[in-house]
Each structure stands twice: as structure tokens, then as C-alpha cells.
Amino acid sequence: MTNIVGYARESTLDQAHNGFNMDDQVRRITEFCEFEYGQEPYELSIRREEGRSGKNLERPEIQKILQQAESHAIDIVVVYCLDRLTRSLTDLYELLEQFQKCQVSLVAITDHIDTSTPIGRFFVSIIVLIAQWELDTLSSRTERGIAESLMQGNYARGKIPFGFKRKDEDPHLIEISPDDAAIIRRIFTEISEDRESCYTLAKKMKEEKLLGRMWSELGLKVMIQNRLYYGCLQTKDFTHENYIEPIVTKEVWDKANEVISNKKYDRKDYFYGDQVFCSCCKHPMDHVCTTKKSIGKTYLYYKCPKCKGTISEDKITEEIHDKMNYISKVTHCDDELRLLKDRYIKLDYKMKQLVYFVSEFGLDENYAQCELERMHQKQTELSNQIEQIAKETKQHYYIGINRDEQKEVLETYVSKITITFPGKKCRVIYTDQFNEILERRTKQR
């Protein structure tokens, strides 16, 4: 059965000037699907986006469609016309790229675009080329402008790092903020001299309620790795060693970075590391733990520093266990196993057919006996191969491999794990490498 999603959108501006309305779009999409796909079984669901602008993709129903595409729950997305989907060429390029990756066709009724057909893909390729040209041109101009501004001594890097502020007389330039700089020196001193971990130091600063900031392990790591604190500004194209007055010396910066590169921050082996994110605020989750002294056991947790949601590592493992087994299965030799089993079944049928010919049609028994022995030997070889491959496949399943191998699978095939609060539901987002394997296997079948 073909799974189709129709998308309809309207905004106040559209209703006033263009005459679009939601019911009309839904009716046209429904009629089109009945005419175009009615010969075969299909299921159509409509997603209605009311009062939403098409200037970006930050729309709930569009995000739900993308999630369905990622989970391969839909085959076709139908819209009345392309500007109902988006008014941005860049966003259209992003959507088309995502749909192509997930093997989802896009149909725009009035624009006569259907990416499942050669002419539809041709028109889309033209749109994508224009969008890519626009992106590349804009990116090149932006990079040149930022590089020139930096060479003139301006700070054109977006958010100013903690410890600095813009000059009152010239907001394009930055200078040291004395109060904040004292905290920066404290951070570098405790890391480089006291060899404190980022996790412990962040926890201490949160307990002190220092400046009322949400101090985190990840935030401190990023601070320590920022070269601007010893006066150096580094970009893709050049390095300015004496860009600004330093807060700490180069020697202190080097020592602090050496400490964090050699130190186990958490002193606990968090299996999922930095791959766990909060689905609501998109923030990477911090590592926290509790220890039950009576039994000497430590429990590991991941906590969102913004939403305060917490989930145990055991809960994550329980939630994604089947998905990790699925990864292991897809990435190993189930196709070869299926082929060998088919050959074994065919040989079994031929052997029964041969016995029938001997009893019913008087086929030469000596010839039949030789053929049966040959087929039986071949079946034995196939059976041994099947047993060996099944054994190897089982060993590669997530549950059957050791912890280091599990981590390797996780790092290779999982981009990140998002946690939804409340409910503590886990969603695995796969890497491009796994999606390519899945796509190749799907085509082979």
C-alpha cells in the first residue's frame, strides 16, 4: 500500500490576497490522489498548517512530515503548489534533499512536479542547482566580508565570548570585561594548576550560583579551547596571534588544554557520551550520577541543563535496544543467508521430484541415486554455510558483542539520540552511512 501525506497551509495574508483556503487545498489534494493513485490501494492523510507563514521550516506539521520521512512511514508528499510547502528556495532545496535521502516523492499539483518521474526530477534538479548556486554565492560573499572585517581589527564572529565586551566608543571592537575576566582566570587556574575536572568545576560553580549562569561541563570545555583567551584569533583563512589583550598567558592556556585532553572528566564511563540531546531545546545533555553507598553502586544519568529533564543510562539502553539490534542486522550478512536458504529449499524440491520420477516414470535408479547423493552433498555444504553465517550474524547483533564493539557501532551508525520529556521517549537519528546501507539493502530486495 502506498502511504501518502497531503500538506495544506494558509496564512492570513494568503487568505486576503490570493484567495487560498484550507478546505479548497484539501479537496484538490484528495481529488488528485483519487485520480492519480486510485487504481492501487493507498492511504491518504492530510496535515493542515493554519496561520503559518511559509518563510521557514519551523512549522509543526512540516517537522512531523520530516520525522515520518526519516522513519520511512510515507512514500509520497502531495501539495497543491510549491509555495504552500515553502516560499524559500533554500528551504525547498533542504526539503528535496531530505526527501530524496528518505526515498519520498514530492508532488506539486499546479506546478506539475512529480519527483518520481524523469521530467519531475529534471525540474527539481534545476531548482536544486539554482538553490545551491545561491547558497554558494551567499556563503562566499559572507566569508569574504567577515575575513576583511577581521583583518581590519573588527570582531565579526557573532556572540562575544564570556570575559570580553564590546567597546562603548566602537561596538565593532571588543575589550576585556574585568569582572568576567577574573572568573576566566579562576577557571584556567583550577584546571591547569589544581587539575580539576570540567564536570566537578561546573558543579561547584553552579552550587555557588556564580553570576546566576547555567555552568556546564561542555560549556567549560568550549571556554578552555577558545584561543581568544590568550589573545589569538584563528579563522579558516588566517591566524592573528596578537589580536587582543590576553586574559591568560599562552603557557596557562596550553597547560589547561593538555589537562582536559588527558583527563576523564566524569570519572565515570558514560556509554553514550555526548550523543544524547534534549528534543525540546536541542541542547546536549549533561552527565550526572548518584551513588548508593550501602551497596557501593553508582547510577548514571543524562540531564538537560535547560529543561531539567533527567533520564538514566539504563533507560536509554532499554529504549533503543531493538533499534541497535536492527542496525546490527541491517549492516551484516542477512542477504547472503536468505540466498543460501533459497538454494537449499530448491535442492530439496529437486530431490523429491527425482524420487517421484523413479517411482512413477521408471527413471534409471542408478542415475537417480548418483544425482541424489550429489544433491545431498550440496545440501550439506549449504547447511554448513548457513549455520556458519547465522552464527556470525548473531555474534554481530548488538546484544551479542562486547561493550567496546557496541560503542563502535553507536559512533559509526548513530548521529545522536534525542530524549522527549515528559515520557522519556528515545529517538535514534542515524548517520548518512547507515541510511546509505539501508537504501542499498532496500533496492536489492
Query: pLDDT grade, residue 266 (50/70/90)?
Result: very low
- Which H helix or E strand runs over 203? helix 198-207
Short-list 197, 405, 224, 190, CA closest to 286: 197
- Which H helix or E strand runs over 320? helix 313-330
Reported pTM: 0.36
Q: Above 70 in pLDDT, residue 333?
A: no
Measure CA of the first residue to CA of the last residue in the chain; give whole Å. 17
In DSSP terms, 166 is beta-bridged to 174
Give the percent of the chain with pLDDT over 90.
12
Fold of 164-262: Hect, E3 ligase catalytic domain fold (3.90.1750)
Query: pLDDT grade, residue 16 (50/70/90)?
Result: very low
Specify the CATH superfamily of domain 2-134.
Resolvase, N-terminal catalytic domain (3.40.50.1390)
| Spatial distance between the Cα atoms of 68 and 62, rounded to a whole number of angstroms | 10
If you count them, how many residues does the chain have? 445
Strands 2-10 and 42-50: parallel
- Residue 77 pLDDT: 93
- Residue 336 pLDDT: 65
| Spatial distance between the Cα atoms of 314 and 312, rounded to a whole number of angstroms | 5
Lowest mean pLDDT among 128-132, 208-212, 295-299, 405-409: 128-132
Question: Do 90 and 61 touch, CB atoms closer than 8 A?
Answer: no
Short-list 150, 131, 324, 341, CA closest to 236: 150
Q: What mean pLDDT do residues 80-96 have?
A: 79
pLDDT digits over 277-310, tens only? Answer: 998 888 888 888 887 767 778 889 998 888 888 9
pLDDT digits over 25-77, tens only? Answer: 899 999 999 988 888 889 999 999 887 777 778 888 989 999 999 888 999 99
- Residue 265 pLDDT: 43
- CB pairs under 8 A, 24+ apart, for 66-73? 66/95, 66/98, 68/5, 69/98, 69/99, 69/102, 69/104, 70/98, 70/102, 70/429, 72/102, 72/103, 73/3
Q: What mean pLDDT do residues 317-322 have?
A: 81
Check for a shared fold between 2-134 and 164-262.
no
Q: What mean pLDDT do residues 420-432 have?
A: 86
Query: pLDDT grade, residue 263 (50/70/90)?
Result: low
Domain positions in the chain = 2-134, 164-262, 280-310, 316-444
